[in-house]
Amino acid sequence: MQHVRKAHERGYADHGWLKSYHSFSFADYYDPQHTQFGALRVINEDRVDAGRGFGTHPHRDMEIISYVLSGELQHKDSMGNGSVIRPGSVQRMSAGTGVAHSEFNPSPQEPVHFLQIWIIPAERGLPPSYEEATFSDADKRGRLRLIASQDGANGSVTVHQDVRLYAGLFDGQERAQYVPAPGRGLYLHVARGKIHANGFDLAAGDALLIEEEAELVLERGQNAEVLLFDLA
């Protein structure tokens, strides 16, 4: 089974300083057909104005991944972590028993464009933790680079769930093939650009949901950046 969800079908919220697209039900947006995909609970595509951000707020029992597409995102949390992440950086925060954090655009001029991803952990009540990793464009060029996984393989950040998250950059003749194990589902999110995936032409914000298919083939990209989730 394959299903394309177009970018315009997502939920949308405009708060002035924040413009956000929701791939799954979130806040005031509710769609009973799109509440989650396996353990993948949230993909929010956020654009935050210069000098603005999310004040300190709590989370618990959620794996939260931030992936910056352009600009800078400043993070601070109640565990004492503080950093600024940029394109190429992947940030993972396991909220566990409870953590408070803030996210802020430190630039006085430029907006920040990023994806915030929530994954339901396999176990509740874990100790809160934090991790960052950086992957160059060369790491992702013409291939799917593992950036998050349950076992932290190949330098990926560790998430407490049976999920493998890949990022890739594709342009021109660059091509990648991915073969999932039996019983796995794939969720492909196009972060920007355009790409041809399993016979479908996808553009920024589009998603391809795949279950019980033998493979995923990515080709004919046009400045495309994609995220691929392999889930139980």
pLDDT at 208 over 90: yes
Q: Domain range holding 90?
A: 2-231
- List, for residues 38-48, the tens digit of each pLDDT value: 999 999 999 99
CATH of the domain at 51: 2.60.120.10
Angstrom distance (rounded) from CA 179 to CA 214? 6
Mean pLDDT of the region 46-59 = 97
| Cβ(127)–Cβ(102) below 8 Å | no
Residue 74: per-residue pLDDT: 97
Residue 33: per-residue pLDDT: 94
Beta-strand ranges (E) seen in 98-206 are: 99-104, 112-119, 129-134, 145-149, 157-158, 163-170, 176-178, 185-197, 200-203
In the chain, the number of structural domains is 1
